[in-house]
Amino acid sequence: MPTAIAKPGQTLLSPANHALILIDHQSQMSFATKSIDPVQLRNNVALVSKAAKEFKVPTILTTVAEKSFSGPIFSEIKEVFPDEVAIDRTTMNTWEDPRIAERVNAIGKDKIVLAGLWTSVCIVGPALSALDQGFEVYVITDASGDVSDEAHERAVQRMVQAGARPMTSLQYLLELQRDWARGETYDETVATSIAHGGGYGLGLIYAKTMFNASEAH
């Protein structure tokens, strides 16, 4: 008979137990992305970026053929990480670039969270490669996208079958906060939720405006 203990499960993400890799959120890659509306994609990417910044998650930015073909990284990422230089690659599989491996090893986390364009190429590649090398892999599916719903869904299914764990952008933020009594990150988490959390954000505005409500009390 198992015993219930008041502590989080080992597969839950915390600010200190993972690295985030944002892959190829670039103009040219977005033009052909059809599995998610580009406005929603940019909103979700902004949410993830702000969450990582707020909780001081080690974050790797990477692009493919930025100057010659794919264009600049989303402003929603650059504005959050203005001093972070994205690693520009030729490899479609981020994991095959030695500079990425060097950064991952320097960070030293066994959990890797991925988001990017396109799911079936630039996310499947590093996800399966990292899993094969013993890392735990999480994929933020609504901060990723592909050329069709079919391409995105089959890619997610393939990664899940291999052991990856799918999640959403808002889930990522709230999993890092996890306890509303954590006052040091409460205000930023609420602000990010209001700015990018859709209906949930509107609910927070309503509750705070009408009732001066607070999740921590």
**What are the tens digits of pLDDT across the range 128-168?**
999 999 999 999 999 999 999 999 999 999 999 999 999 99
The token duo for 175 is 């999993």
Q: Is the pLDDT of residue 217 over 60?
A: no
Over the stretch 19-36, which tens digit does the pLDDT of each residue have?
999 999 999 999 999 999
The ranges of the chain annotated as CATH 3.40.50.850 are: 18-175
Asked if 106 contacts 60 with a C-beta cutoff of 8 angstroms, the reply is no
Q: Is the pLDDT of residue 205 over 90?
A: no
- Would you please indicate which residues are annotated as catalytic (active-site) residues? 122
The C-alpha atoms of residue 90 and residue 123 are separated, in whole angstroms, by 15
Q: Is the pLDDT of residue 87 over 60?
A: yes
The whole-number average pLDDT for the span 65-71 is 81
Q: Is the pLDDT of residue 214 over 90?
A: no
The token duo for 50 is 């702000």
The whole-number average pLDDT for the span 164-184 is 97
Q: Is the pLDDT of residue 62 over 60?
A: yes
Q: What is the fold of 18-175? A: Rossmann fold (3.40.50)
Asked if 113 contacts 12 with a C-beta cutoff of 8 angstroms, the reply is no
